[in-house]
Amino acid sequence: MGFGGAALGGLFRPVGAATAEGAVRAAWEAGVRYFDTAPHYGAGLSEERLGAALAGVPRDAFTISTKVGRVLADADPNAGVPQGGDGGEFAVGRDRARVRDYSRGGVLRSLEGSLHRLRVDRVDVLYVHDPDDHWEQAAGEAFPALARLRDEGVVKAIGIAMNDAAMLTRFVAETDPDVVLCAGRCSLLDGGAQRELFPLCERRGVAVVAAGVFNSGILADPRPGAYYDYRRAPERSVARAQRIAAVCETHGVPLPAAALAWPARHPAVASVLVGMRSAAEVTTDVRLAGTEVPEELWRDLAAAGLLPGGPANAHGPGLHRRSGAGPMR
């Protein structure tokens, strides 16, 4: 299990500095060694807090990933949440704006800023972040810049991080990533990644980091008003999540435990990334990740038509029972 750093940047609601540091330290003490962040998360706040919490820890003892595609620039400190085309889901006021930039120069400036905020001399994995409407520049400039950094040994692995499974599939097919971070499309409510992306990654030896497995919270606590894909969940999604939870309950398995276990069944998945904003959340998520999930649960969910893709996916192509995740190369 990896530590997702979006919450440290105030995703949906503010997080105090002491609480953020406590979350990272609790994750470390629980054995978590992969930490992911991005300049986008709180306009650099997540990187700053992660760097502060890991200061003094031997650099070779953990894996850290960050992202490029948004360069931070000065903004009006009175503007509240920084403007720059996105970022409104982060409940923080910052004096920095996010500026989309997938050029080679933008990649280098972004990485330089991240290293400073993280207080490290290198990152292990570098992703192109959310290039949804920027395919040409991301594929033509950003990814080649990352590939050169990999060839020069500046970073160990490179990839793409986004919610769009179709574009991730295109990147895997047309470029040479080591890893993709797929958010929200490999969950119990959305199996978009398992149709083409996961099988292609398995064939090409590309590791997958499965993120957003709670779909912004609905699969952790499917109550009315829960978030689904960064916005309030529609009633039909809440109802479906509640039906899944009811089946899980008959097997004595909490819904979030099943949500964590589901993507890890695929052999291409190297890590399940979980956003955690406090030491208490870390303790809960580590316990849930260790929950034994019986095969009968998946069969019952499939029989009820509650698995993404239909009944075949209880044991069907691309989903296999497995004992552990392989390493990211």
Catalytic (active-site) positions:
41
Residue 67, classed as helix, strand or coil, is strand
Asked whether 291 and 254 are in contact (CB, 8 A), the reply is: yes
- The single-letter code of the amino acid at 119 is R
Asked whether 120 and 47 are in contact (CB, 8 A), the reply is: no
Q: Which residues of 107-116 are buried (b: 16+ CB within 10 A; e: fewer)?
A: bbbbbebbbe
State the Cα–Cα distance between residues 16 and 85, nearest whole angstrom.
25
Q: What angle do CA 197, 36, 120 make, to 5 degrees?
A: 135
Residues in the chain: 329
Residue 97, classed as helix, strand or coil, is strand
